[in-house]
Structure 1
Amino acid sequence: MAGRKRHSAEDIVRKLRRADELTAAGRTMEEVAAELEVSAPTLYNWRRQYGGLDGDSAKELKDLREQNSRLKRLLAEAELEKDALREVAKGKILSPAVARRAVDMLIDTMKLSQRLACKAVGLNRSTYQRRPIAQTPADPDADLRAWLRRYATQHPLHGFRRAWAALRHDEGRQVNKKKVHRLWMDEGLQVRIYHPRKRVGINSVPQIAADAPKVVWAIDFQYDSTVDGKAIKIASMIDEHTRQSMLHIVERSITADRLVTHLQQAFDECGGPPQVLRMDNGPEFISDALQDFCRNKVGLIYIPPGTPWNNGHIESFNNRLRRECLNRNHWTNLREARVVIGDFKEDHNHRHRHSALGYLTPAEYGAQCTHTHQPVGCEIEPSTPRL
């Protein structure tokens, strides 16, 4: 009669697992058997009976384990790729430069590998690893890029067209406007300015076309202040045809009499008055002093109240003066404001290249302009009686 078994099936399984650990640690079969307090043949028989695997089954199990590990790795990568896509899916990635920045972000923030980050973004690894020529010493446009950066620093509110005009006419460089635009965008120098929707007003007075110099001069006021909070009033006037600045008044207060005095000086300097002054309905403009001064000398056109777009040329000039001069400076006293604003208007006349003038300065255009005013009449034919 066979005696009772010394080890149960659970004990044998535990000892076999322990034997595997010891074997993996480099122990020999005899050392393993001695530690488990069994003989080597017994351990062999247990492995054959309870391991339940022959050579082919063990190989198949190994393959299954490798496939399972690979599937787990692919699943983990897929989950990481989903997380990466959530990070960069704010908008379409349309250029390699933007894709490179997205890959760098994923590597830095999510600690992804370069391979997985490029796969998530959809960028080839060779494209990511190849440095753009603009970032190498061999960049042929390095000098032009440096000039554009300096120009943007000096004129932070100018766009690429103004930079191209300065390159073409002031620097004498024959450079394509599209190339300047591309480099301007590459350097991140574009200026985002909000343009409100244009409103259409109904003008209650007939418009006169400024088809020649000294036909229509537009005048307007704007305000600023010194550091002590005291107001500064600025009067500006431009020729709508040549875009030249014709008037420079910077005072604490500008009365109608002072305005008339400066207008007379401007008329004398330009060889006579224009045909028309265009203005809004401010108290200085509708004053008796200005009415008497302009009577039988120059016509007056008042835009309808609340419609500054009907005086667009001077509004555009005031906008440039505000953004490029007033907003960039603070005035300690009135004299400083007079000097700096006067220099800006002088620079506008002799340095600012206007696209509507073929990128000539207002002074250059005014000196060579030969246009003459062509009055446009409108005759109403008498109605003929119906038969």
Structure 2
Amino acid sequence: MAGRKRNSAEDIVRKLRRADELTAMGKTQDEVAAELEVSSATLYNGRRQYSGMDTDAAKELKELREQNSKLKRLLAEAELEKDALREVAKGKILGPAAKRAAVDMLVTTMNMSKRLACKAVGLARSTYSRIPIAQTPADPDAALRTLLREYARMNPLHGFRRAWAHMRHDKGMQVNKKKIHRLWKEEGLQVRIYHPRKRAGISSCPQVEADAPKVVWAMDFQFDSTIDGNAIKIASVIDEHTRESLLNIVERSITAQRLTDELDKVFALWGGPPLVLRMDNGPEFISHVLQQFCRDRVGISYIPPGTPWNNGHIESGGTSLWGINNRLRKKCLNRNYWTSLLEARVVIEDFKDDHNNRHRHSSLGYLTPAEYAAQCTHNHQPVEG
């Protein structure tokens, strides 16, 4: 059976005009419909839509209705795209991997078609369909990616340069730094850390440049607590030139006398005191006990109050980016809960040993502090005032 014939707007207008002529001749509605080969309902609907129109007007009305329908569809798709982008993320979505993940989310959660989701995100459908080589068994860098992910898990504050130094010096892998950077970004291992703007403080006392070992030792305290709420106090001393950690005191309370006793042991262990001890204005550091201990033995360089950047190699706060206390806080104290003072002593001592013997400093040519100190031949060059 042949399908029903669909009349165009022009045909409907012609048949309506013929129907008027037949009606004027005295024929009934059913007879008119039979002669025109349409149903009575078709004639009724045709009169309601096109009555009083000529052929051109009917054609124009049909085109306007089609354009209106198309505009409504486009507007609906545009609004759907806006909703989709608001659902995905704020700002631009950069990179094929991020866009591919956004398309997957829109398809699964919002039941959007892949075509519309790709259009909303701005990703070519061919790019979305192509499987990245990193997700296939043929990826030649699969083993290296695994090592980088494991390194990032163990060292969450490190960037790709330290990861490259670890692969190059510790693992013995001949790998290009740019390749490590590319894989580091592809795996999403970048760490964004807020760095406050550095400000230049003006010291109230002469500053000595640590241009050789045993010239300037920086000293500072840090605090934590065990799970029962009791305080833990940590004293640290480092050589500003070699970055070596020289002192590790972990106690509930550290008096000035205990501090001087431990400093005396450190001086004896390292063959004598440095030229200068740099410290802040804490109560232990300005005490008469420490003043008497340092008299005629070692100079004291106090930083101005409220300027931790002047002691940036050890300070934990302010603009100290590379301070050992900053690293100790983020990599050790913030990641552990101490059940006892003994546990804190053991873990912090292990951390400082790792800092001296395994942590590679970019400022030291990616050597560890112990390696750098062993081969350092610098001598202090006093600056004449």
TM-score, normalised by the number of residues in structure 1: 0.80
Quick one: structure 1 residues 74 and 146, their matched pair in 2 at CA, closer, same or farther if it must change by over 3 Å?
A: farther
Alignment-derived partner of residue 6 in structure 2? none
Alignment-derived partner of residue 21 in structure 1? none
Alignment-derived partner of residue 366 in structure 1? 373
2:104 maps to a residue whose letter is D
1:260-275 matches, cutoff 5 A: 260-275=260-275
1:112 maps to a residue whose letter is M
Quick one: structure 1 residues 48 and 326, their matched pair in 2 at CA, closer, same or farther if it must change by over 3 Å?
A: closer
| Contact 2:85 2:120 (8 Å CA) reproduced | no
1:297 maps to a residue whose letter is R
What are the superposed Cα offsets for residues 7-43 of structure 1, whole Å, 9 maximum, x if unpaired? xxxxxxxxxxxxxxxxxxxxxxxxxxxxxxx9x9775
Deviates more, 1:103-112 or 1:278-287: 103-112
| Contact 1:85 1:121 (8 Å CA) reproduced | no
> In 1, Cα distance between the equivalents of 2:197 and 2:252?
34
1:308-387 matches, cutoff 5 A: 308-315=308-315, 316-378=323-385
Quick one: structure 1 residues 280 and 43, their matched pair in 2 at CA, closer, same or farther if it must change by over 3 Å?
A: closer
Alignment-derived partner of residue 92 in structure 2? 92
Alignment-derived partner of residue 76 in structure 1? 73
> In 2, Cα distance between the equivalents of 1:135 and 1:65?
51
TM-score, normalised by the number of residues in structure 2: 0.80
The percent of aligned pairs where both chains have the same amino acid is 66
- How far off its partner does 1:106 sit? 2.8
- How far off its partner does 1:302 sit? 1.0
1:182-261 matches, cutoff 5 A: 182-261=182-261
1:96-245 matches, cutoff 5 A: 96-245=96-245
1:44 pairs with 2:34: yes
2:163 maps to a residue whose letter is A
Deviates more, 1:209-218 or 1:225-234: 225-234
* Partner SS state of residue 235, structure 1: strand
2:274 maps to a residue whose letter is P
> In 2, Cα distance between the equivalents of 1:204 and 1:271?
30
Task: State the number of aligned residues.
Answer: 337
2:288 maps to a residue whose letter is D
Alignment-derived partner of residue 299 in structure 1? 299
> In 1, Cα distance between the equivalents of 2:185 and 2:164?
13
Quick one: structure 1 residues 214 and 85, their matched pair in 2 at CA, closer, same or farther if it must change by over 3 Å?
A: same
Larger radius of gyration: 1
Deviates more, 1:222-231 or 1:158-167: 158-167
> In 1, Cα distance between the equivalents of 2:100 and 2:63?
34
| Contact 2:33 2:39 (8 Å CA) reproduced | no
| Contact 1:115 1:125 (8 Å CA) reproduced | yes
- How far off its partner does 1:98 sit? 2.4
2:128 maps to a residue whose letter is Y
Q: Is there any run of 5+ residues in structure 2 with no aligned partner, and where?
A: 1-27, 48-53, 316-322
- How far off its partner does 1:275 sit? 0.8
Quick one: structure 1 residues 326 and 93, their matched pair in 2 at CA, closer, same or farther if it must change by over 3 Å?
A: closer
- How far off its partner does 1:221 sit? 0.6
Deviates more, 1:266-275 or 1:281-290: 281-290
> In 2, Cα distance between the equivalents of 1:368 and 1:362?
10
| Contact 2:148 2:163 (8 Å CA) reproduced | yes
| Contact 2:236 2:248 (8 Å CA) reproduced | yes
> In 2, Cα distance between the equivalents of 1:119 and 1:230?
58
- How far off its partner does 1:131 sit? 1.0
- How far off its partner does 1:48 sit? 6.9
> In 2, Cα distance between the equivalents of 1:137 and 1:85?
37
> In 2, Cα distance between the equivalents of 1:218 and 1:144?
38
- How far off its partner does 1:129 sit? 0.4
- How far off its partner does 1:251 sit? 0.9
* Partner SS state of residue 163, structure 1: helix
Alignment-derived partner of residue 11 in structure 1? none
> In 2, Cα distance between the equivalents of 1:301 and 1:205?
7
- How far off its partner does 1:116 sit? 2.4
2:153 maps to a residue whose letter is T
Instruction: Name the Cα RMSD after superposition.
Output: 2.8
> In 1, Cα distance between the equivalents of 2:110 and 2:258?
68
- How far off its partner does 1:143 sit? 0.7
Alignment-derived partner of residue 8 in structure 1? none
| Contact 1:237 1:245 (8 Å CA) reproduced | yes
1:145 maps to a residue whose letter is R
> In 2, Cα distance between the equivalents of 1:221 and 1:248?
10
* Partner SS state of residue 241, structure 2: coil
Quick one: structure 1 residues 45 and 281, their matched pair in 2 at CA, closer, same or farther if it must change by over 3 Å?
A: same
1:45 maps to a residue whose letter is E
2:214 maps to a residue whose letter is K
Quick one: structure 1 residues 65 and 110, their matched pair in 2 at CA, closer, same or farther if it must change by over 3 Å?
A: farther
Quick one: structure 1 residues 86 and 42, their matched pair in 2 at CA, closer, same or farther if it must change by over 3 Å?
A: closer
| Contact 1:77 1:116 (8 Å CA) reproduced | no
- How far off its partner does 1:66 sit? 9.9
> In 2, Cα distance between the equivalents of 1:361 and 1:286?
33
Deviates more, 1:123-132 or 1:72-81: 72-81
